[in-house]
Structure 1
C-alpha cells in the first residue's frame, strides 16, 4: 500500500547498514553553522537586500488602503497622480532588489556547494584506505554522485530561498501587526492546521528520505558489483541471480519513492487549506472588526492584501523546507565521514628503526570469520621477502596488514617497535607504501599524475623515475611529453603503461618499505621480468614485501614465506625451500613444468 511505509521503517534513523556512517543531527547542525559562519557576510547582504525588496512590495497595499480610506471618508479629490508615481517607483525598486536577491542567492548557493564538495573530497582522501575498501563502491559512489546532485539544487535554491521566505513572512506579519493588530490574530487561525499537517509530515519524512537514499545506494552497489565482476558472473552463470538481486533492490527503492510521494500528497493540500483559512479569517473577522469600529475599511483593505501576500512566502518556506528534507539526508551522508574517528589508542608514536614484525596476527573481513590465523613474521630492514601461495590463501590480506591499511583483530604489527595501528595514517604512508594491481591514471597531464607522489619533483626526477620503471620510451613518444593529457578523454594509456606510471610514483615517493601486491601483473612475463630487474636498482637497500604468483619474483627474494589457508607454512630462502621438498618445492616444479 502506498500510504504504508515499506518493511523495516524506522523514522528515527538510517535505513541501511553502510560502512561509512551517516552524520547525526549534531554533526549536520555543526557543519551548517560552519557554512553560515564562512559566508555570514553574503548571508547578511542577502537578508538586507531581501528586506528592501519586501518593503518595496508592501507600498502597493498601503497606497490602495489609503485610497479606500479616503473614499470611505467621502473624499472625491483623490491624489491619483502622486499615488501612481509612488507605486511605479516602488515597483521599479522592488524589481531591482528582487533581481539582486536572485543573483546573490544563486551566487551564495554556488559558493556553499563548492565548499561542500571540497570539504567532502578533502575529508574522504584523508580516510584510511581500509575504511574506503570496506565501504564498497556503491555507497561511496552514491554519495559523490547522487547526494551531491541532490544537494546542488538545495544549495543553489533551497537555502537562499528559505532565508528569503523567513524574512518575507516576518516582515509581512510585522506590517500586518502595525497596520491592524486584530487582523494579525485573524491570520493565525490557520496556524493550528498548518502545524498539525507539518508535524505529521516531518515526523515521517526524514526517515523515509534516508531510507530512499539508502535504497538508491543499495541499487548502485548491486549494479557496480555486477559490472566489476562481469566475467566472474558469466563464468559461474550467476546472471539470473544478480538480475534478481538488482530487481529486488530496485523494488525496495521505488517502494520508498512511492511512500515519500504519498507524504507530499498530504502536505501540499494542507498548505493550500491554510492559505484559504488565512485569507478567509482576515476577510470574515476583519469585516466584523470594521462593523464594530475596531478597524477602518482602509486598514482591512491593506491587511487583506498583506495576508494574501503571505501565501507565496509560506508556500516558499514549506516547498523548500521539503526539498531540504531530501538535502538534509544527502548532507548527513556527506558529512558523515567527519564522524570517523581515529582508531582507539592512535597517537603520535614514531618508529625507532625500520624493522617490521607481525606477532600472532589474526584478521577477518567478517565478524568471527578469520582469514589469517595467528601469523607471525619478522621482516628486518632491507630484506626482500616474497609471499607466495595459492589464490585465496591470505597473501594480499597479510600485505595490506603490513602496509597499515587494515588493523589486526588480535596481535600486533610493528614498525621499529611502534604499532602501526597507533600511528596516524599519514605517518604510516611516509614509511610504508602499497602498490597493488589496481592502478589509476587521473585526468590531466602525465606530469600531474607523477607529481601526485612528490609535488616538488623537477622534470629530471620525473624522467628518471619513468626510466627506472621502463616507461621513458613511450612517455617521450607522446605528443607533448610530460605535458600530454592522459586519462579519460586524453591520450590512451594501456594497462601496462598505467602500471608503470604507478611504479614511477613509487620511485618518486621514496619510502623505505614497499609492499608490492602483484605490481607487475599487467605486464607480460618477459616485460615484467625486465621491469623487476630495473626496479632492483631502485629498491636497493629498501625493505620489499612482494606478493606474486610468478615465482621468479620469489627466486630473487632473500626470504620466501609460503602462505596456505591463512597461515605461514614455510619460511626460508629459495634454495632451502626447494631442498626441503615441501609446498614451495611443489609450486616451483609446477611453475617450471
Structure 2
C-alpha cells in the first residue's frame, strides 16, 4: 500500500493533487513560504497580481510575544482593549463628538429659518439657514465616514491583539486544562466570542456613544429653550424609560450569558462529532447524533427566543412612551404658542429635538443587544484568561545545560484527581545512557511517568531531577529541547512531510531530514510520491495509516537528536515487520542516550537495559529481562502469558 494511499491532495489542492500556492510566496525549489510546493503564477495573471501587491496594506507586527510564565496583564475589559490603542481611540472619540454636534445642528437651523426667515419674510436668512442645513449634512457625512474608518481600525487592531493574547494563553496552559475542557468550547472563545467583540468595536460602541451623547445634548438644548416645558415633558417619559431599561438590562444579562453558554455547547458537540466521524459512521450513529445535536441547537434557539422576547417587549414599549411624550408636548407647547409664550419656530425645534431624543432609544435597543453580547463574550474570555497553568515556569529559571541523562524520581506522588492518586512514593534512578522499559497493567501509571519526565505535569509531592537539577527550576524550553518524545497517538499537522518531520528542529537541512527518514526505513515510501518530502499531509495525518504516522513521529524524534528519549508505546500501532524495522532504528537512536520506554509489547521491553514492573501500588520489580524471569514474579507471569499468545 502506498504511504499516501490516494489521500494527498484534498481541500486547497490544485490539479493532480498539487497544492495551490499563495501570491508572492514562492521560494527556492518552488516552495511557498509555508513549505508547501508552489507551481507559480500564470504569466497572463502576473500584471493583475503586481497591481494587487502594490496596493496591499502593510500590517505592523503585533507587540505580543510568547512567554512561558503569565505576564501581569490587567484583567480583560472593553476599555482596556480600546485604550491599548490610545491614538486611534482618542481620534474616534473626538469624531464621535463632532458627528453628534453636526447631526443636531438641523433643528436649530429649522427654528432660525422659521422665526427669522419665514415669519418676517426674510429670504436671505431663509437661504442662509437652508444652506447651513446642507453644509451641516455634508460635514456630518464626512465626520461619520472618518469615524467609521477609525472605529474599524480600532476594532481590527484590538481583536487581532486579543486573538494573539488568547492563543498565546492557550499555548501556555497545562495539559490538565485540555483534559477537562471541551475543544468546541475553546473554539467558541476564539471564534464566536471574539467576533461578537469585533462587531461591537467596529460600530456598536461608536453608535452607542453617538446616541447617548445625542440624548444628553438634546436634553441640554430642550432646557435652554424652555425649562418648564422640558421638565414637564421629560418627567413624563424619563422615569418610565429608566424603569423599562433597568428591567431590560437585568433580563438581557441572563439571556445573553445563556446564549454564550449554549453556543459553546453546540460547537463542542459539533467538534466532537466531526473528530469522531469515522467512529460515528462505523457504529451507524448518524441518526442518534442528529437527534442529540438537535437538542443542543434547540437550547441555543430557546436562548435566542428569550432575548428576542424581551427585546420585543422593550422596543415597542419605548415607542409607546415616546409617542405619549410627543402628544403631551404638542398639547402643552401648542397652548404656549397660542399664549405667545413660545414661538412657532421654537415649538417646531422643540418637537424635532424631542423626536431626536426618542429616536436613539430605538437604536439603543439593538445597540444594547450587541453590547450585551459583547459583554457576555468579555466575561467568558476573562474567565479563560484567568485560568492559570498548573505547570508554572520558575520566576528566575535556569537554562539546563547539555545533559548527561541521569534521571531520578524521589518520593514522587501524583494523581490527576486529588482523591485518586496514580503514583505513590515512586523512587526510580535511570543512569546516563541507560534504557529503562516500564511495563504493567493499563492504568498503573506508565504513561504518567513519561508525562512527568517531560514536565507536562508536576508531581503533587516529591522531586524529579535530571543530572541532579530539579525540573521545577529550569526553563521549559531548555528542558524540552533536550527530550525527544514519541507519544502513544502521534499527531501530524496540516502541511508537508518536511514541515512535520522538522517540527522540533525547523532549521534542519534536507540531508538531516533524509537521514531521519532513512533511520526509520521510510525512504522507499516517501519516494513513491512524486513530491517526496514536499508531499502534503491532511489534517491529523488522515492521509497516512496509523503505523506510518508512528514512523513519522519516530523520524521527527530522530531529527531533533535529543539527549533523553521518552517513547510512550511507540510500537503499539505497528505490524511485526514495521516493528522490527523501528526497533532496529531505536537501537541507533538510543545509543549513548537515556531512555524511558513505556511498553505494552514485551518484545520492546526485552531490548531495554532494565525493566521496571508497575501496578497501582507502585514499582513492584526491577531488573533485566533475564533477572526478572529468574525471580518468578509478576514479570515472569506476564512473559508466560505473552509467549503463549505469540
Return the TM-score normalized by structure 1: 0.81
Judging changes above 3 Å, is the alpha-carbon distance between structure 1 residues 541 and 257 closer, same or farther for their aligned structure 2 residues?
Answer: farther
8 A Cα contact 1:436 1:519, kept in partner: yes
Equivalent position of 1:573 in the other structure: 624
Deviation at 1:333, TM superposition (A): 2.2
Deviation at 1:488, TM superposition (A): 4.0
Q: Does 1:159 align with 2:205?
A: yes
The aligned runs of 1:362-401 (5 Å cut-off) are 362-401=413-452
Q: Unaligned regions of 5+ residues in structure 2, if any?
A: 1-71
- SS of alignment partner, residue 375 of structure 1: strand
8 A Cα contact 2:411 2:427, kept in partner: yes
Q: Does 1:192 align with 2:261?
A: no
What's the RMSD between the two structures over aligned residues? 3.9
Judging changes above 3 Å, is the alpha-carbon distance between structure 1 residues 292 and 355 closer, same or farther for their aligned structure 2 residues?
Answer: farther
Equivalent position of 2:584 in the other structure: 533
| Greater displacement, 349-358 / 32-41 | 349-358
Give me the whole-angstrom Cα distance separating, in 2, the residues matched to 1:409 and 1:83. Answer: 79
| Greater displacement, 388-397 / 284-293 | 284-293
Q: For residues 62-86 of structure 1, what are the alpha-carbon distances to aligned partners after superposition, in whole Å with 9 as ceiling and x for unaligned?
A: 2211122136754364644444433
Deviation at 1:226, TM superposition (A): 6.4
| Greater displacement, 550-559 / 222-231 | 222-231
Give me the whole-angstrom Cα distance separating, in 2, the residues matched to 1:212 and 1:294. Answer: 53
- SS of alignment partner, residue 85 of structure 1: helix
Equivalent position of 1:588 in the other structure: 639
8 A Cα contact 1:166 1:313, kept in partner: yes
2:114 to 65, 68, 75: 68
Q: Does 1:429 align with 2:480?
A: yes
Q: Unaligned regions of 5+ residues in structure 1, if any?
A: 1-25
Q: Does 1:147 align with 2:212?
A: no
Deviation at 1:299, TM superposition (A): 2.4
Give me the whole-angstrom Cα distance separating, in 2, the residues matched to 1:268 and 1:29. Answer: 33
Judging changes above 3 Å, is the alpha-carbon distance between structure 1 residues 427 and 62 closer, same or farther for their aligned structure 2 residues?
Answer: same
Equivalent position of 2:102 in the other structure: 56
Give me the whole-angstrom Cα distance separating, in 2, the residues matched to 1:490 and 1:567. Answer: 36
Equivalent position of 1:201 in the other structure: 248
Equivalent position of 1:90 in the other structure: 136
Judging changes above 3 Å, is the alpha-carbon distance between structure 1 residues 117 and 201 closer, same or farther for their aligned structure 2 residues?
Answer: same
Give me the whole-angstrom Cα distance separating, in 2, the residues matched to 1:508 and 1:337. Answer: 36
- SS of alignment partner, residue 458 of structure 2: coil
Q: Does 1:408 align with 2:459?
A: yes
Equivalent position of 2:606 in the other structure: 555
Equivalent position of 2:90 in the other structure: 44
8 A Cα contact 2:407 2:430, kept in partner: yes
Deviation at 1:398, TM superposition (A): 2.9
- SS of alignment partner, residue 310 of structure 1: helix
Deviation at 1:122, TM superposition (A): 1.4
8 A Cα contact 2:116 2:125, kept in partner: no
8 A Cα contact 2:172 2:389, kept in partner: no
Return the TM-score normalized by structure 2: 0.75
Equivalent position of 2:554 in the other structure: 503
8 A Cα contact 1:28 1:331, kept in partner: no
Judging changes above 3 Å, is the alpha-carbon distance between structure 1 residues 41 and 180 closer, same or farther for their aligned structure 2 residues?
Answer: farther
- SS of alignment partner, residue 570 of structure 1: strand
- SS of alignment partner, residue 546 of structure 1: strand
| Greater displacement, 547-556 / 53-62 | 53-62
- SS of alignment partner, residue 362 of structure 1: strand
8 A Cα contact 1:179 1:302, kept in partner: no
Q: For residues 405-439 of structure 1, what are the alpha-carbon distances to aligned partners after superposition, in whole Å with 9 as ceiling and x for unaligned?
A: 22334444343444445656445434545431333
The aligned runs of 1:120-519 (5 Å cut-off) are 120-176=166-222, 185=231, 186-187=233-234, 189-221=236-268, 224=271, 255-276=302-323, 279-280=326-327, 282-287=329-334, 290=337, 295-343=342-390, 347=394, 348=397, 354-421=405-472, 425-426=476-477, 428-488=479-539, 492-519=543-570
Judging changes above 3 Å, is the alpha-carbon distance between structure 1 residues 288 and 395 closer, same or farther for their aligned structure 2 residues?
Answer: farther
Equivalent position of 2:35 in the other structure: none
The aligned runs of 1:24-43 (5 Å cut-off) are 30-43=76-89
Count of matched residue pairs: 568
